[in-house]
Amino acid sequence: MQIGKIQFVISFFILNFLLFIAAIGQEIEVLVEKPGISLRGLSVVSKKVIWASGNKGTVAISTDGGNSWSWKTIGGYESRDFRDIEAFDHRTAIIMAVGEPALILRTTDGGESWKKVYENKTEGMFLDAMFFYNAYHGMVIGDPIKGKFFIARTNNGGNSWEEIKNPPAAAEGEACFAASGANIIMTGPKQYYFVTGGKRSRLFSNDQVIDLPLLQGSESQGANAVTAALVDKKTLHIIVVGGDFANDTLREGNCVFSRDGGKTWINPSNKPYGYRSSVTFINDKKAITCGLNGVDISYDGGINWNGISAIGFHVCQKEKKGETVFLAGNDGRIARLIQ
Ligand SMILES: *[C@@H]1O[C@H](CO)[C@@H](O)[C@H](O)[C@H]1NC(C)=O
Ligand SMILES: *[C@@H]1O[C@H](CO)[C@@H](O)[C@H](O)[C@H]1NC(C)=O
């Protein structure tokens, strides 16, 4: 009797565990892994063409929807960490390295050869992320130099870059995170929004600076990524994620959203399950976020988040014109969202 009860309890838990595995297995499909490589840059050009970038001078390219991957180590840059990538088709892409010197490279032959399109040896330079509004207009954001954020702009698809003249000032101990190439977005050829962390966490745009009600106050805390959707062609909905990367299970202050272009901010009713480094709207209502301890989805624009996987990823990105989503992270892991 006693043993039967224990067996029942055990099989009940095993059944639940198997159901849990089946549920998560249906949502995230891991496509490839490459131990020792940390991927934080991701660009989903189409359902077929996906590029990822990471440390040790690494770029990975798939032209068949993620079934097969071509891995490249960029000669001469084997020690650089390419934290962000923007690809335009299966041949053309731009990659950005963190650390010194500031560096942006461009390829037009599918990653076979790379041309240096920006370099800056100024001490303390640290580029964090790029964003392209279209094939011509893009921006790159970097940590403050002499108290001002570093922002440069391109209007020729990244072939040349020009620093903006009067970038906004940073507060003491405020900087940007280069967690997923996702802390800057553009909603027009010149309109930008970027988010910060550290001692303070704020949202900056061309003409406003807004305090974010996220966890902040120490070096590992604050906003890591921002995404926006123009709903009904008129209202800008924004989601910002972050938390504390030194404590990836902490859920406090890890996500806020705005439904009025950033004027007022709302806490989710059900927060994501920990520190989150990347977020993207899939459509007006559906959004995905990921971090070191898992992936969550919202079907109501960020009010409620449901954990769908306990596999860690640094970055999630949506296909430019469609809704296909890929994720990338540690151990050279690249996955697809099944939806
Ligand atoms: C490098 O960046 C610094 C700081 O923003 C700037 O003053 C300088 O003009 C830049 N140099 C080049 C070569 O772009
Ligand atoms: C993470 O946060 C939780 C909740 O506040 C706390 O109990 C725990 O000690 C923290 N862990 C670390 C490593 O700071």
| Chain segment 103-157, per-residue pLDDT in tens | 999 999 999 999 999 999 999 999 999 999 999 999 999 999 999 999 999 999 9
Residue to mutate (ligand 2; options 220, 247, 248, 252; most atoms within 8 A of CB): 247
Calpha distance 155→257 (Å, rounded)? 30
**Among the atoms of ligand 1, which is closest to the Cα of residue 146?**
4
Q: What is the pLDDT of residues 14-59, one digit of tens each?
A: 545 544 554 444 589 999 999 999 999 999 999 999 999 999 999 9
Residue to mutate (ligand 1; options 104, 122, 123; most atoms within 8 A of CB): 122
Q: Check whether 319 has a pLDDT greater than 80.
A: yes
The closest residue, in CA terms, to atom 5 on ligand 2 is 250
Residue 22 CA to ligand 1 centre (angstroms): 52
Q: What is the DSSP letter of 1?
A: -
Residue 223 CA to ligand 2 centre (angstroms): 18
Does any ligand 1 atom lie closer than 6 A to the CB of residue 304?
no
What is the model's pTM?
A: 0.91
The closest residue, in CA terms, to atom 3 on ligand 1 is 122
Does any ligand 1 atom lie closer than 6 A to the CB of residue 163?
yes
Q: What is the dihedral of CA 22, 23, 26, 31, to 10 degrees?
A: -70
- List, in order, residues 6 or more apart from 250 with CB less than 8 Å away: 215, 243, 244, 274, 275
Residue 330 CA to ligand 2 centre (angstroms): 22
- Alpha helix stretches (DSSP H) within the chain: 2-25
Residue 244 CA to ligand 2 centre (angstroms): 10
